[in-house]
Amino acid sequence: MDLELISFKLCPFVQSSVITLLHKQVGYSITYIDISDPPAWFDEISPTGQVPLVRINSDSILFESAVINEFLDEVSGGGMMPSEPLIKAQNRAWTQFCGSILADARDLAGAKDENSLQDKEYDIHEKLGRIEALKTDEDFFNGDEMNLIDTLYAALFMRLDLLRPAVNLLNMEQYPGLSRWSENLLRLDAVQRSVVTDFNDIYRRMIKAQGGILAARLP
Ligand SMILES: N[C@@H](CCC(=O)N[C@@H](CS)C(=O)NCC(=O)O)C(=O)O
C-alpha cells in the first residue's frame, strides 16, 4: 500500500500519525504544506481543509487523525488500541479531550493579555487534573506499551515541555503521573523522530511571531 501523509510541520495531529507510522514501521512518504496558505491541490482533496490527510495508492483520501491512526494500526497488524469495547471507546474520548487541551495550549501561546493567559492556564490545569486523576502507575495510558491515545498526548507533552521556560504547566509536584508518562513518551525513538529536526526552533519562532505574552517570556 502506498501511503502519502500530507503534513504541516507544526501540527500535533499530524505528529500523532507520524508517531503511529514510525512505531508500526509502516513505510510512507510525507508532503509538507503551509496550512495558512495551502496549495490548490490540497483544497481540492481535503474535505475539511485540515491536516493530517492520508492519500492511499494515489487515489483514496482519509482525514481526521484519530481515524487515520486507527486505520494505520489496523492495516499493520493492530495492537495499538484496547480490544475491550468500553476501554476502546474511553480511549477515543480521552484522545478527543487531548485535542481540546492542544487547542487551549495554542490559544495560550497566542494570548495577548494577562487575563486571557490566566484563563487558558486555568482551563489547561483543569483538564490536566482530570487526566492525572485517572492515570495509573503504568508507563503509558493503557499499560506498558504505547497505544494510539499516547501518540497525541506525546505531541501535547512535547509542546508543554517547549513552553516550560515561559510557563511551567506540567510539573512533577502537581502532576506526578502525567510527568512520568510524559518522560516515558518523550524518550521514545518514534516520538523523537516524529518532528522535523528544527522543530523546536520553528515552534519557538511561531510563538514569537504571534507577539503575545509568552513570546516575550520565551528566551
Ligand atoms: N480533528 C482534526 C484536527 C486537525 C487540525 O486541527 N489541523 C490543523 C493544523 S494542526 C489544521 O489543519 N488547521 C487548518 C484549519 O483548520 O483550517 C484531526 O484530528 O485531524
Distance CA 90, CA 82 (A): 10
Residue 187: pLDDT above 90? yes
Q: Judge: domain 85-217, CATH 1.20.1050.10.
A: yes
Residues 92-128 have pLDDT tens digits of 999 999 999 999 999 999 999 999 999 999 999 999 9
Question: Does the predicted TM-score (pTM) go above 0.95?
Answer: yes
**Using CA of residue 169, residue 174, residue 178, residue 180, what is the dihedral sign?**
positive
From the alpha carbon of 36, which atom of ligand 1 is closest?
14
Q: Is 49 in the pocket of ligand 1 (CB under 6 A)?
A: yes
Q: Is 94 in the pocket of ligand 1 (CB under 6 A)?
A: no
Residue 219: pLDDT above 90? no
Fold assignment, 3-74? Glutaredoxin (3.40.30)
Cell of 102: 492542544
Equal CATH topology for 3-74 and 85-217: no
Question: What are the domain boundaries of the chain?
Answer: 3-74, 85-217
Residues 16-68 have pLDDT tens digits of 999 999 999 999 999 999 999 999 999 999 999 999 999 999 899 999 999 99
- Which pLDDT score is estimated for 74? 97
Cα of 51 from ligand 1 centre, angstroms: 5
**Residue type at 107 in one-letter notation:** D
